[in-house]
Structure 1
């Protein structure tokens, strides 16, 4: 009788499914591609970043940041479409459809409507800049404009502000790119986000953190239910740009610093997700300090905001499994050698994860971005 019972126990143990069977994982990738002329070697990098991403065929979902220009986005979509036919951004007409179907008339004349700064309201801003900010150069121009030309900034579109900011430190060079009508694909993806997936994406939504409030960069997030995975949030939070807080609508933003604005964005995501389990991906521009003997220290970036994410129930595995910088002092694309930090994250609530790894560094002998990317395998937490 005892031997029969033992045999039954052994039989039960042999059919217990493995962790992989109980929870088949999906691989995710987040990467700030830094595709704007303010980051060194933009022209050469924009040609090879899609090819580098094509080699990550084991990735199921990608959240890309700083894909600012529609022309660059079309290059990404064309290169990645065979593997990632499902995609979305703030300028998509519909999920997996960048532009609406249109005839030859729209193809010829539509570009005059979609160029971000092709408007008469750009001229008063230019006049104000010449009169009030004459001789001001570089990043100091941003402060001058937000102090002395706020009325003119309010008159132009948010995408025009973003285009002028991201396209060049030199205003005239930026303006030439932002009124471009030579290319049909001339929209400005003002939040810089692009979500790509192997599987269908459902219930897709785009959300601005502060809708209707003019800013230097109006950031936001994309949420989508990915078939076979669950809810994914793709975002890019406000950065510490090492300048005084120059936003002119401080009351509406309820912030007096970049750190406080970022915290409000984190609270906004928490409010919108309302306890639902999800995966948060992107350049969060916050991270903890890490000191390992014999290694270069990782400097914290707005660590209290990173702590707030943990308080909201997110799990972050990268710091313990890999722990290398994603914004690195020795990156050759950095014009200023700022301290090494971990700014890019894939965080989870209600999911399990493993194999958090830094990626997207050098490809064909060239640094791909001023950031590194990271990958993570995730699956549902069946006890959540």
Structure 2
């Protein structure tokens, strides 16, 4: 389901309106926020966003990464305390890449029941993901498995209803789904920099799970996750830019709005350029992601890898720079706990290092270019 610019703008407005209350009510001083259950219910049950990536034949919207990126960008702009990135985004794209009957059934279950899922990546600070999170052995039938292992820094791990775990079974990489209520699974909330999104340690001790797919391309699934992270980063940059511009128009010093001073003008133009360049990189990555979902192949997957790393690097830099400079343009008010500027800076920093820093992805992009030129 492709939508035009008008429909995309309407989708963005609907998401922004639904999440306009902001995150303050759900914050925790120790970086362990609670889910905004009412907003999550609106997004999944009333707006049907949990089924965005579910094919129409299975009762979903049959949308692509372009539509999902619009949703995540606007939820990022409002710092909504919901597991949209981890569940609808990262887990949803992993299931879409898996493409098995079990994966489609899990996607339908998540979309219809309003449940939240997350992925226990082997090392959420590296890209591409190396190794697996756990090991597993088959139980009584071909789909039932027993999982043992440990994963750290699991996005929304303390709040998820289902975790998708990369495992090895008889030497083969696979994806297993484990309900968080299953015996043998324990979760420990971690103290995080981002006060609007929690992380957790998830441990498996002979926890029962269901095999979702064998031989899944984890690198391609991670590339799709990078694109969605970049979408959130663009939302942060855009919102911080708007806040800075509005403040520069209203704040008066020496009988003039500070936006009339040349230093502030130049600073705002630099932030605008960073945001627009990030959006351009995101658009290229989104197009590559949808091209892969439409016609998967090794060549298209390689193009996606390059575009995803370029977007993660560019958007990561932009989110950090704009959030940081916005705080400084705000001046004294920007450094207070009561203002949301520090919350955006915290989210930007957490996303900057998630699944590889901008420097990591510039290196990866350079390697991909060199390998292509050597062919």
TM-score when normalising by structure 2: 0.27
Larger helix proportion, structure 1 or 2? 2
| Bigger relative CO (Cα 8 Å, ≥ 6 apart) | 1
> Which has a greater percent of strand?
1
Structure-1-length-normalised TM-score = 0.26
